[in-house]
Chains A and B, each alone.
Chain A
Amino acid sequence: MHDASMKVKQKQPRRYVISQKLDAFFIDMYSLGQFMGRFFRAVFLPPYEFKEIIKQSYAVGVKSLPLITLTGFITGIVFTKQSRPSLSEFGATSWLPSLVAIAIIRALAPLVTGLITAGKVGSNIGAELGSMKVTEQIDAMEVSATNPFKFLVVTRVLATTFMVPLLMLYMALLALAGAFVNVHANEQTSFVSFIENGFHSINFIDIFSSVLKSIVFGFTIGIISCYQGYNTTQGTQGVGRAANTSVVMAMFLIFIEEIVIVQITNWFRP
């Protein structure tokens, strides 16, 4: 009897197409695609929740300012400090402003802003929506005839998409200010000369590609963290997992998007 039941167990067909983890990954990607589709359908339909978009933009933008200010300024100082020895070996310290400006505007500002926002805002949205989900606050919103997807998800995704580019521009300015402080202290370069040298090598495509990257990063942070939070299961443990996965997944995608956008914009460079 025991042997027979064992044989029946062994003959059971495989339950996974590839493997448990890969199947789960593809199913997750499919539902993320559906979630994005739902976002694009909802974003153009009324009600537009302008008040909530402003509130969320404040939470994403203004509340991230202290961290962005500190990180931007220090990044500028440190990058300039670390680059000087290499340039001075070739007697090319006069190139420092343009090297720093290119590095900050083309790469550092969008990437660092994206990563900081993913950590700070992504985890916040993931945890907030996750705890709302497990304590039935999202259901409560639904039964009070408010579309929670529009009120919670669409507003947050729009807020991150609008605010990350602004934060990126702010960070680039702060990083350039940090770089100027260091250059001025060492080479006694004037502010006008620093700006002239720095922006000599910057063109429209540099700024456009950084703004485009930041828009894409902001959208990614918003949609991933909302998706994770909105689909939280398994109580408080699930809330922690939603916050964590929001950050990890958003950061992972930010790096991939960085490579893709850099490749594409490089085709348009003269």
Chain B
Amino acid sequence: MIKEGLHIDRTKCVICIRDLHKSFGPNHVLRGIDLDVYQGENVVVLGRSGTGKSVLIKIIAGLLKPDKGTVNVLGNDVTAISYRELEQLRLRIGFSFQNSALYDSMTVRENLEFPLLRNSKHLSRGQVTEAVEKALDAVGLSQTINQWPAELSGGQRKRIGIARTLIMQPAIMLYDEPTAGLDPITSMEINELIKEVQLKFNTSSIIITHDLTCAKITGDRLAVLLDGRFVQEGSFEQVFSSGDERLKSFYDYNFIT
């Protein structure tokens, strides 16, 4: 397992969330969340389906507006900045979607070129091609460059989705259910890739999952979201040795004890 090169700077909080609330109609999803993510750290947010895990990272990326609370990302309060400032901030945030969200009407090459051509207009055609090839190489899928998203497997789509975010060299990565719907071998490859991204680019990440293997491999710290609040926080061992009954079924299901 990759461990060397890990450098977490506990003095530098890149994502600081305070008293975050979000409701959808009568459904109060997040009920006062506090979370700090430090430079170079991978934080896994664990929780049952529908507990607001994805809502949390969508708020961080500015895709949803919270009802209350502050979300400070790389020194910017995403709830208070202008749309233009948010666009600039988003260039430093990578978001890997649960279903990869590759643009169906574009080839793999065009998918990867899209953020570069729009946001790095100073780059020459050759530099763009080089960056695309490098990003594909980083996820081990150079041969798919001219394929369409529909021709790729679930795991390949996931990795291309990650490559598309890596091409902008983000400081923060947000992964939404990175191993959902994948077989164990492909899941393991994705887990290794997430870890590799952290070590290679010194990114800070939030990984949303209910896959404990993914949590154990990729996470430096776990935060367990239940009923709209974090009920446990710490390393994998600390969280699952706490004796919390609510987490027991989670563990039992994932590791078949």
> Are B63 and A142 interface neighbours, CB within 8 A?
yes
Give A135 to B164 CA distance when docked, in angstroms.
16
Q: Is B98 an interface residue (CB 8 A)?
A: yes
Q: Is A4 an interface residue (CB 8 A)?
A: no
> Are B95 and A140 interface neighbours, CB within 8 A?
yes
> Are B115 and A146 interface neighbours, CB within 8 A?
yes
- Among the listed stretches B84-92, B134-142, B179-187, which one makes contact with chain A, having 4 or more residues with CB under 8 Å of it? B84-92
A139, A143, A145 pick with most chain B CB within 10 angstroms: A143
Contact with A along B110-131 (1 / 0, CB 8 A): 0000110011000000000000
Given the interface contacts A143-B61, A144-B118, A146-B118, does A136 sit within 8 Å of B91 by beta carbon? no
Chain B residue numbers with a CB within 8 Å of A69 are none
Q: Is B43 an interface residue (CB 8 A)?
A: no
The residue on B at minimum CB distance from A47 is: B118
Give A128 to B105 CA distance when docked, in angstroms.
9
> Are A135 and B99 interface neighbours, CB within 8 A?
yes
Give A147 to B118 CA distance when docked, in angstroms.
11
Q: Is B97 an interface residue (CB 8 A)?
A: yes
Partner of B104, one of A131, A139, A141, A146: A131
> Are A145 and B61 interface neighbours, CB within 8 A?
no
> Are A137 and B91 interface neighbours, CB within 8 A?
no
The residue on B at minimum CB distance from A146 is: B118
A136, A137, A145, A147 pick with most chain B CB within 10 angstroms: A145
> Are A139 and B115 interface neighbours, CB within 8 A?
no
| B interface residue count range (under 10 / 10 to 19 / 20 to 34 / 35 or more) | 20 to 34
> Are A147 and B99 interface neighbours, CB within 8 A?
no
Contact with A along B154-178 (1 / 0, CB 8 A): 0000000000110010000000000
The residue on A at minimum CB distance from B88 is: A145
The residue on A at minimum CB distance from B106 is: A137
Q: Is B240 an interface residue (CB 8 A)?
A: no
Least CB distance from A54 to B in Å reads: 15
> How many A residues, CB 8 Å from partner?
15
Given the interface contacts A142-B63, A143-B61, A145-B88, does A136 sit within 8 Å of B98 by beta carbon? yes
Using a Cβ cutoff of 8 Å, how many contacts connect chains A and B? 54
The residue on A at minimum CB distance from B91 is: A145
Contact with B along A116-159 (1 / 0, CB 8 A): 00000000000010011001110111111111000000000000
Given the interface contacts A145-B118, A145-B119, does A140 sit within 8 Å of B97 by beta carbon? yes
Least CB distance from A229 to B in Å reads: 13
Q: Is B93 an interface residue (CB 8 A)?
A: yes
Least CB distance from A60 to B in Å reads: 15
Q: Is B103 an interface residue (CB 8 A)?
A: yes
Least CB distance from A79 to B in Å reads: 38
Q: Is B80 an interface residue (CB 8 A)?
A: no
Give A139 to B103 CA distance when docked, in angstroms.
11
The residue on A at minimum CB distance from B167 is: A144
Least CB distance from A242 to B in Å reads: 16
> Are B63 and A144 interface neighbours, CB within 8 A?
no
Give A146 to B98 CA distance when docked, in angstroms.
20
Given the interface contacts A145-B115, A146-B115, does A140 sit within 8 Å of B91 by beta carbon? no
Partner of A144, one of B58, B90, B104, B105: B90
Give A147 to B86 CA distance when docked, in angstroms.
11
Chain A residue numbers with a CB within 8 Å of B114 are 144, 146
> Are A145 and B97 interface neighbours, CB within 8 A?
no
Give A140 to B87 CA distance when docked, in angstroms.
13
Give A221 to B150 CA distance when docked, in angstroms.
29
> Are B168 and A144 interface neighbours, CB within 8 A?
yes
Q: Is B101 an interface residue (CB 8 A)?
A: yes
Give A132 to B104 CA distance when docked, in angstroms.
8
Given the interface contacts A131-B104, A137-B104, does A143 sit within 8 Å of B90 by beta carbon? yes
Chain A residue numbers with a CB within 8 Å of B58 are 139
Partner of A139, one of B97, B164, B165: B97
Least CB distance from B154 to A in Å reads: 13
A/B interface sample: 7 pairs, CB < 8 A = A131-B104, A137-B101, A140-B95, A140-B97, A144-B90, A145-B90, A145-B119
Knowing that A132-B103, A143-B63, A147-B87 touch, tell me 6 more A-B residue pairs with CB under 8 angstroms.
Answer: A139-B63, A142-B90, A143-B95, A145-B115, A146-B115, A147-B83
